[in-house]
Amino acid sequence: MVVTVYHQGQPVRTGLTGNISETFILDKGCNYFRVHAVDREGDEAEEEYEIYYDEIKPFLEINKVEEEMRNGLVYLLIQGTTIPGGSLTINDQSVAVDVYGSFSGSVFLPDNNVIMLRVEDMAGNETTRVLQYTVEGLSVAGTEPVDGATDVPVDRTITVTFSKDVQPGPAYDSITLKNAAGGTVSVTKNIGGRILTIKPNATLAYSTTHTVTIPAGVVQDAAGNSLAGDYAFSFTTAATHKKAVPRYVYFQIGSDMVMVDYAKAVNDAMNDDDTLYNAVKQYVGEAEESGAPVIVETDTQVVLDYQKALGAGKRFTEIINDPGYQTGRPEVQKELRVENGRAVIVVMQPGME
């Protein structure tokens, strides 16, 4: 029997006895071998082999490690890149590597918290990475309002931001918001990602210190970790502001325009509600109403454009929020009447400046 060995397509050794032994110098990369045999009757047989040769260890990079919770057990999602075609294992569990060298595997976190990644290329070169993973505890990253805040709006929504995404824990219903006297304020709460939102079901009292308490088991992360202990923070709501009164009210008999001039800037929180006529508010910088331009010179003025002209002797009431402040401030009630071609304030609520 004649046996011929080919290396990279070229014959390098022929044996006539059916046995052959030869030492080859391998090329870097892929070495292609073919063994061809012919017996005395002319029957042929052939085998092909590929041997890869290089001395460079494959690279192995870990790009992401993320905790996952499954049936009360902690798993780690590990993503990274290595040599395309490499054979990869994570804690002896085989993980697929795509044609670009990317991989993604999820493994159970053992008691010793040690994760071993091993990749081997076609030449048998091996690279190993050992990952010592510690499950991070849960903590509070910040609150709004911050602890010790003052002049907090009475309609403020409260938020607590944690160090990572959370879900309701066994003590979720134990969150409390209390005033200085220890009275509990009813709240509605929800969780979105890392943020716990606490919304009072009613406007808070003015000039009052409130305390939010987050017991340790209120929330937990994906691994089941809770806060190390109870967390509390306090804030004080804004003081009741004196009710404001317009400095000037410009009024002309037979006109459908009234201009009110305030000491403070008018903002979007301002509200006008006429009890006798249907009024339309006009603010600084706005266009025109009913085709007639309205000129407002400063941001402390507001023009009321009535659908009906206001004649002598008429009375009407305007209820206007304290300008320059947020919604929820006390309202001002005044009664105006036409007197000698100008508007006169007739009645005001007690306690106004």
- Report the CATH number that the domain containing residue 189 is assigned in CATH: 2.60.40.1220
pLDDT of residue 278: 32
Last residue of a domain, one of 237, 271, 304: 237
Residues 179 and 214 in one domain: yes
Determine the Cα–Cα distance for residues 336 and 190; give it in Å rounded to an integer: 47
Mean pLDDT score, 258-283: 39
What phi and psi values does residue 235 have, to the nearest 5 degrees? Answer: -150, 160
Domain end residue (candidates: 132, 163, 189): 132
294 or 141, higher pLDDT: 141
Question: What confidence score (pLDDT) does residue 23 get?
Answer: 82
Overall average pLDDT of the 229-234 stretch: 94
- Find which of 28-37, 105-114, 242-251 is predicted with most confidence, using mean pLDDT: 28-37
Q: How many CB atoms lie within 10 A of CB 222?
A: 17
Whether residue 243 is contained in a domain is answered as no
pLDDT for 80: 94
Question: Considering its fold, how many domains does the chain have in total?
Answer: 4
**Model confidence at 147: pLDDT above 50:** yes
Number of residues in the chain: 353
String of b and e for 311-339 (b: at least 16 CB within 10 Å)?
eeeeebebebbbbbbeebbbebbbebbbe
Q: Over the stretch 172-207, which tens digit does the pLDDT of each residue have?
A: 999 999 999 999 999 999 999 999 999 999 999 989
Average pLDDT rounded to a whole number, residues 241-258: 46
In a domain, 302, yes or no: yes
Note whether residue 255 is domain-resident: yes
Q: Does residue 13 sit in the same domain as residue 86?
A: no
pLDDT digits (tens, 9 = 90+) for 61-105: 999 988 776 665 678 899 999 999 899 999 999 999 999 999 999
Structural domain boundaries enclosing 87: 60-132
190 and 147 inside one domain? yes
Residue 202: predicted pLDDT: 92
What's the CATH code of the domain at 72? Answer: 2.60.40.10
Question: Is there a domain that residue 66 lies in?
Answer: yes
Quick one: 74 and 103 in the same domain?
Answer: yes
* Per-residue confidence band for 259, with pLDDT thresholds at 50, 70 and 90: low
In this prediction, residues 134-152 reach a mean pLDDT of: 88
Nearest to 58 by CA among 117, 131, 125: 125
Average pLDDT over residues 11-23: 79
Residue 353 falls within a domain, yes or no?
no
pLDDT score for 71: 61
Q: Is the dihedral of CA 81, 87, 92, 95 positive or negative?
A: positive
Q: What is the pLDDT of residues 28-71, one digit of tens each?
A: 878 889 999 998 888 999 999 888 777 788 899 999 988 776 66
Can you tell me whether residue 179 is helix, strand or coil?
coil
**End of a domain among 190, 214, 237?**
237
The encoded tokens of residue 269 equal 């929180």
Model pLDDT, residue 10: 87
pTM score, whole prediction: 0.42
Out of 1-10, 259-268, 297-306, 333-342, the most confident range is 1-10
Read off the CATH number of the domain in which 261 is found.
Answer: 2.60.40
d(CA 159, CA 166): 13
Share the mean pLDDT of the chain: 73
- 147 shares a domain with 106: no
Question: Is pLDDT above 60 for 254?
Answer: no
pLDDT at 110: 73
Rg of the chain's alpha carbons, rounded to an integer?
A: 40
Q: Does 160 fall in a domain?
A: yes
Residue 275's pLDDT is 28
Tell me: do 109 and 200 sit in the same domain: no
> In this predicted model, which residue has the larger pLDDT, 15 or 149?
149
Considering the domain boundaries, does residue 231 fall inside one? Answer: yes
96 CB burial (10 A radius; 0-12, 13-18, 19+) = exposed
Residues 144 and 233 in one domain: yes
Q: Answer positive or negative: Cα dihedral of 10, 14, 18, 20.
A: negative
Q: Is the pLDDT of residue 224 over 50?
A: yes
- What is the pLDDT averaged over residues 292-315? 43
